[in-house]
Structure 1
Amino acid sequence: MYILDKQNATHPDLNLLYNEAIDLLATLISIPSFSGAEERTADEIELHLAKHQIKTIRKQNNVWCYNKFFDQQKPTILLNSHHDTVKPNEQYTRDPFAAVVYDDKLYGLGSNDAGGALVSLISTFVYFYASEDLPFNLCLAATAEEETSGGNGIKCILDELKPISFAIVGEPTNMQMAIAEKGSMVIDCAAKGRSGHAAREEGDNAIYKAMRDIAWFSSYQFPVEDGAPQSVKMSVTQIDAGMQHNIVPGCCHFTVDIRFDHNYTSREILNTIINHTISSFNVRPNILQPSHIDLLHPVVVAGLSLGRKTYLSPTSSDQGWLDMPSVKMGPGESARSHTADEFIYIEEIEEGITIYIRLLESIFKQDA
């Protein structure tokens, strides 16, 4: 772990910040905060920041604030993570809202995705909040509805934030830097047939029609250059058809999750689907666009100088709403997200705070 000078009188004590981060995360875990219903966790985040005399701004369940000595002439770095969660799955063996520390792990829904990153970024912001000589401004935004790409999440406050130069988006990445992530699009499909009696040669089975399209979604590969990774991944994730066993279904509904990079636009993907399938479909709103950042950007250079690695992320986040350069980076492991008995190691949060601070200090030195 990186060691910081804990005697620097211009910053809060790091041990205190570590402990506060764990306590805040435990409190957030204990409060249900499913996407669209995060009022109480937003309240708790405001209360926590108020204890440090930090004034906050709130819209819906999004909370944001700026460093004490904000200077309009300086560029601004956005520190963003979300405080909403998915619903716990049926395989939980622990109470998802009981924040329990066992074997150096903090268990609970949202502990890993993205509570660890959120409280680490909050502590990092508090660490720098009262510094008078920062070459950058800092904006901390704890946002809602990330898990559902909802319209009342970060999307609804982007026009109200002061101009942002670049962003650090907190998600579980083992504190490595995701320098690009795929966009995300969801389509709801309907294969149409004709109902009839299953015992006679009647009707036109919509399930069989859907099966042909589903086979195409599962096997089609968008053309890419030799040796390049696949640009588009399409996965059928839901299906629904039929009323009862003796009726040929006249309609079969299924849902397709689509992830894509910059090689194909959403329009190009949809045109390809139209040309190869017979089902009708509707595109869900709030398409997340793919994101990327230049390898020579100061935040990437700073991360590399700290031994951080870069990679391309297969998952999507609120990066897809941002129209400025950004990296996705945070404590925890992506594979633990949305799993039963979710947890994060205590050490991961402490390391996350330390590396975030070192990262910003390294960026500040580049600007000096």
Structure 2
Amino acid sequence: MKEYIDLLRKMIQTPSFSREESDVAAIVRSILTEKGISFQTKGNNTWARNAGWKDGKPVVLLNSHIDTVKPVKNWTKDPFAAELNGDQLFGLGSNDAGASLVTLMAVFVYFNAQNELPYNLIYAASAEEEVSGAGGMESLISEFGKVDLAIVGEPTQMQMAIAEKGLMVLDCTAFGKAGHAARNEGENALYKALDDIQKIRDFKFDNTSEVLGDVKLSVTQINAGYQHNVVPDQCSFVVDVRTNEHYSNKKAFEIINNLVDSEVKARSYKLNSSGIKVTHPIVKRGLSLGLSYYGSPTTSDQAVMPFRSIKIGPGDSARSHTADEYILLSEIEEGFSTYIKLLNDLTLD
């Protein structure tokens, strides 16, 4: 795996913020070229099909993303230095999701060398995952054709995330009437908003998921007023909504919209909850290997995939988007071994 760890270090040293991934995309393409693997591109996305592709076989997609968030404050190391300290490799995107990206590339190269597989393989290094951008995985779905199973590389400690919550962001606005704060005038929009925020805080959706738990509502931003002595006539607030499989984002929107008096607008409905049954062959194979499964509270490109998918990869989600992000080299080695065991002679019904 040394060459893939070297690749990861090179990627860390090359900034690849969402929608600014062209330099890292070029690195990925250069490695595929060196290995004699033909690939296709669309924007900053790159994907390849295995050499022994045969029409009619099931298709397995191996996917992870090349973009990163911008570094948070409080890094004590250079986020782009790719500093190696024993088993630890520090750097922005090392854990989320560079380790998964290079490990899945190694897996694709391994299986690409085999003449006969029970399935076809696609390897995709996609862009704009961190911003759920339309120029990332969403733009590739029509390019792939039929896909039977996707393995999405994200840091899960190589355990199986068989479901993940959906994400919807709501922009809410309470309206009042301006007045002088010194007199009993006006209608305070801030107080109206606080009443609605309390309703949201106290509300509980009826249906709980065995794997994902409850739908989670979090008010994360609020804004009102422009002067201390003027009663605000408008107050806006933002609600982060994490849905389970019992509620589409549109259905959750309808429930919340009927709950509050404020005007409610959804930024998007597209990032719905996703999941795969525990009886699926990939999950059964994982269980036979001693892996566990769980429901993930975080959202990935699974949300835009219209086919069965499972999220699994080296690293720990708790390190993502944090200062001094790192991956363990041993996690990459273990990840490669586990992926191979999961996919070796896998039969898809």
TM category, shorter: over 0.9
Say whether residues 1:40 and 2:23 are aligned partners.
Answer: yes
**CA distance change for structure 1 residues 225 and 186 in 2, over 3 Å: closer, same or farther?**
closer
Tell me the SS of whatever aligns to 1:189.
strand
Give the root-mean-square deviation of aligned CA atoms. Answer: 1.9
Aligned residue number for residue 163 of structure 1: 146
Distance 2:344 2:330 in 1: 21
Aligned residue number for residue 209 of structure 1: 192
Say whether residues 1:20 and 2:3 are aligned partners.
Answer: yes
Moved more, 136-145 or 232-241: 232-241
Q: Which amino acid letter does the alignment assign opposite residue 263 of structure 1?
A: H
For residues 325-360 of structure 1, the C-alpha deviation after alignment (integer angstroms, 9 at most, x for no partner) is: 111000001111111111111111111111111111
Shift of 1:285: 2.4
1:287 counterpart (270, 290, 295)? 270
Distance 1:169 1:88 in 2: 23
Aligned residue number for residue 251 of structure 1: 234
Aligned residue number for residue 106 of structure 1: 89
CA contact (8 A) 1:222 1:230 kept: no
**CA distance change for structure 1 residues 167 and 187 in 2, over 3 Å: closer, same or farther?**
same
1:126 counterpart (109, 117, 120)? 109
**CA distance change for structure 1 residues 20 and 244 in 2, over 3 Å: closer, same or farther?**
farther
Tell me the SS of whatever aligns to 1:245.
coil
Tell me the SS of whatever aligns to 2:71.
coil
Structure 2 stretches lacking a partner, 5+ long:
none
1:141 counterpart (124, 131, 135)? 124
Distance 2:212 2:275 in 1: 16
Aligned residue number for residue 262 of structure 1: 245
Distance 1:223 1:165 in 2: 32
Structure 1 stretches lacking a partner, 5+ long:
1-17
Aligned residue number for residue 328 of structure 1: 311
Shift of 1:227: 8.5
Query: What count of residue pairs does the alignment treat as equivalent?
Result: 349
CA contact (8 A) 1:149 1:286 kept: no
Shift of 1:24: 1.2
**CA distance change for structure 1 residues 38 and 228 in 2, over 3 Å: closer, same or farther?**
closer
Tell me the SS of whatever aligns to 1:147.
helix
Q: Which runs of 4+ in 1 moved over 3 A?
A: 225-231
Distance 1:60 1:74 in 2: 28
For residues 274-328 of structure 1, the C-alpha deviation after alignment (integer angstroms, 9 at most, x for no partner) is: 2211111221125212111122211112111211111111111111111111110
Q: Which amino acid letter does the alignment assign opposite residue 320 of structure 1?
A: A
CA contact (8 A) 1:29 1:98 kept: yes
Aligned residue number for residue 158 of structure 2: 175
For residues 63-120 of structure 1, the C-alpha deviation after alignment (integer angstroms, 9 at most, x for no partner) is: 1001111111211100011111112112222222221112421111111111111111
What is the TM-score when the length of structure 1 is the normalising length? 0.90
Shift of 1:181: 1.1
Say whether residues 1:96 and 2:79 are aligned partners.
Answer: yes
Say whether residues 1:154 and 2:137 are aligned partners.
Answer: yes
**CA distance change for structure 1 residues 93 and 239 in 2, over 3 Å: closer, same or farther?**
farther
Identity of aligned residues (%): 49
Aligned residue number for residue 183 of structure 2: 200
Distance 2:300 2:179 in 1: 44
**CA distance change for structure 1 residues 71 and 226 in 2, over 3 Å: closer, same or farther?**
closer
What is the TM-score when the length of structure 2 is the normalising length? 0.95
2:302 counterpart (296, 311, 319)? 319
For residues 25-53 of structure 1, the C-alpha deviation after alignment (integer angstroms, 9 at most, x for no partner) is: 11111122121211111111111111111
